[in-house]
Chains A and B, each alone.
Chain A
Amino acid sequence: MKRIICLILALVLLMTTTACSGNFAQVNLNEPISIPENGIIEKSALDKVRSENAIATFTGSSNDIKYEWTVFGSDINETRDINLEVSLNKSEKGIKISFSEADDFGFPALLSIYLNEKWTSDSATAFSDGEGVYSVSVTGSKTSILNISVDKVVAEWEIIPDMAIQSENTTAKNEQTSEKVTVSQNNSTEKDNYLSGVQSSGDRVYSDGTATEKDKYDTDPVPEGKPMPVEPENQEINNKKKHTCTFSIECSTILNNLSDLDPDKRHLVPSDGVILPPTKVTFYEGESVYDVLQRVCKENNIHMESSWTPVYNSAYIEGINNLYEFDCGELSGWMYRVNGWYPNYGCSRYQLADGEKVEWRYTCDLGNDVGREGTW
């Protein structure tokens, strides 16, 4: 009997070793390498990144503007010597990039441009010969960071903030401009909403901006012209009326803060930061952003965890795609934006209207790096 107990004890001890989780970095994050004078990154260096399944960053600067290439070893198929040098020049509307490399890299690489100024627009488009080729995500708290996932290299680009394009469009009222931005899909939808305003569905109540007191769920007054929160218990879902909206989930801010990210989660970050590209989603009238997010995540097999927070009478999104709050620094977490505005109330209280554009974005700085305005 005693012997059996001893044996069981030994077995249990053996099992506990497996229960002790160590720091298990599957994907390595390499130290930043500065791009040499001639800009050439040798094949051997890229081979190493690929074989180690590492994330490598290459830094350089041009005209006092710093830039950084982030390369995921898992993306690399073929390797050869590539020239990562780019020259950056401020232009009238935005910024001009010219690449030294003439051919495609053969794999997608993320180019982050650290501007010395703050762009008010939170998205931008890269144009080549007047044609939009890439959508650019603009992040950064005090100064803007432009992120572009590059897989095709064109000799020269100009990156223009979308806000500048829109103001141009509205003043000129030129039909031609819609052609100009058809390349990037999410861009065109955003433009539509800005131009035509939100078509209200049902009887939505908008804030007149006169309230000065917090409501009973500790929510500051809703800015003028923005929809008032609708409490989840009052939301009536009409299964007969269907509407569509655009949903996207992205975490490009993590790519600028990879060193803060939990090493166990590195392999979860897509190399372009996009977890769900802008997708048209059908929803029933009366559903909230939370309802739709839950369904979208289920349909696309994206992991999502939320917890109900009675104080704010809303669900709180803790993690999407296993990327949780606080995984990338203590100011990180998920935020949502509808038609360019970060609502100051929870996602269960935002009743969606037809044609709205919902973006879920991961922030590493309480929303300041993803274009949230105002202070906490």
Chain B
Amino acid sequence: MVLLTAFINPAFNHEGATTLLYFPNGNPLTLESILYGFSAGVMIITTLMWFSSFNRVMTTDKFIYLFGKVIPALSLVLSMSLRFVPKFKSQMQTVTEAQRSIGRDVSNGSLLQRTKTAIHIFSIMITWSLENAIETADSMKSRGYGLKGRTAFSIYRFEERDKYALIWLSFCGLFIIAGTLLNAFGFRYFPDIRYAAFDMTTIPFYCVYSALCITPVILNFKEEKKWKISVSEM
């Protein structure tokens, strides 16, 4: 991906002060555009990583726990729609098999017949999903979801260690925001590559940022050690 963007970007972007060579159509190939393409690729990968780890960490129950009280309707809709796709898939499987048992097979017959069957299954699925959504909403309502004074069970408690983590994260966050405002992370690609000087004024910001990035790694490492010790003690 990184290599791909590093190749593609210079083909369309010719800005930059360092000309390496010229394309047949006369436009320059610049070092800056290659590096920009490279970092754009890295950025895309990072975004993908963010979302995959967000998916891993933020499960539906956590989401409902966080926003269930503040925005009950929206968080219900969100968690329902997030749940919708896998649920739809499995239900589709069930319906298809059931239809096959009564002779409506999507993998058999003429094209017209197969299409007919597929449309039939699809119509069943639509009806089911609408009904299912209403049912879920009704069921949540009858349990008093979103009402005042309703408590929700959760396995999360705010402990001492959470307090420390929160303090640490907000410290890092504020420090980095301040650094960004002071342009300590400043970097530009065009027309020439320039970045904030790497000196005593900016190094602290970089240190804090790398510390923030490494925090989950350290936490994981500690957990693993603890687990190993407790296993060996058993």
Contact = CB atoms under 8 A, between A and B. Distances in A.
B185 A12 contact: no
Nearest to B220: A6
Contact of B187 (A12, A14, A19): A19
B191 A322 contact: yes
B39 A15 contact: yes
B46 interface: yes
Contact of B26 (A21, A265, A306): A306
Interface in A53-107: none
A307 B26 CA distance: 10
Interface string A1-36: 011001101101111111111111010000000000
A319 interface: yes
Contact of A18 (B17, B22, B180, B187): B187
Interface stretch (B63-71, B73-81, B155-163, B211-219): B211-219
Interface residues of A, number: 35
A24 B191 contact: no
B42 A303 contact: no
B67 to A, nearest CB: 26
B216 A22 contact: no
Interface string B10-41: 00001111010010011110100000000110
Interface of B is mostly: mixed
B210 interface: yes
Nearest to B189: A21
A312 interface: no
**Chain B interface size, under 10 / 10 to 19 / 20 to 34 / 35 or more:** 35 or more
A185 interface: no
A6 B213 CA distance: 9
B170 interface: no
Contacts of B25: 308
B26 A13 contact: no
Contact of A22 (B22, B187, B210): B187
A305 interface: yes
A15 B221 CA distance: 23
A10 B214 contact: yes
Interface in B37-58: 39-40, 42-43, 45-46, 49, 53
A324 interface: yes
Contact of A20 (B30, B45, B185, B213): B185
Contacts of B194: 24, 26
B173 to A, nearest CB: 14
Given A24-B188, A264-B191, A298-B22, A19 B220 contact: no
Contacts of B213: 9-10, 13-14
A272 B136 CA distance: 73
B46 A16 contact: yes
A322 B16 CA distance: 7
Interface of B: 14-17, 19, 22, 25-28, 30, 39-40, 42-43, 45-46, 49, 53, 180, 183, 185-191, 194-196, 209-210, 213-214, 216-217, 220-221
5 contacts: A6-B217, A7-B217, A12-B45, A319-B15, A322-B17
Given A12-B49, A15-B39, A22-B188, 20 more contacts: A3-B220, A6-B220, A9-B213, A10-B210, A13-B213, A14-B210, A16-B42, A18-B185, A20-B187, A21-B186, A22-B180, A23-B186, A24-B186, A24-B187, A24-B196, A304-B28, A305-B14, A322-B16, A322-B17, A324-B15
User: Which 6 pairs show the lowest CB-CB distances between chains A and B?
Assistant: A322-B191, A19-B39, A22-B186, A305-B14, A24-B188, A10-B213
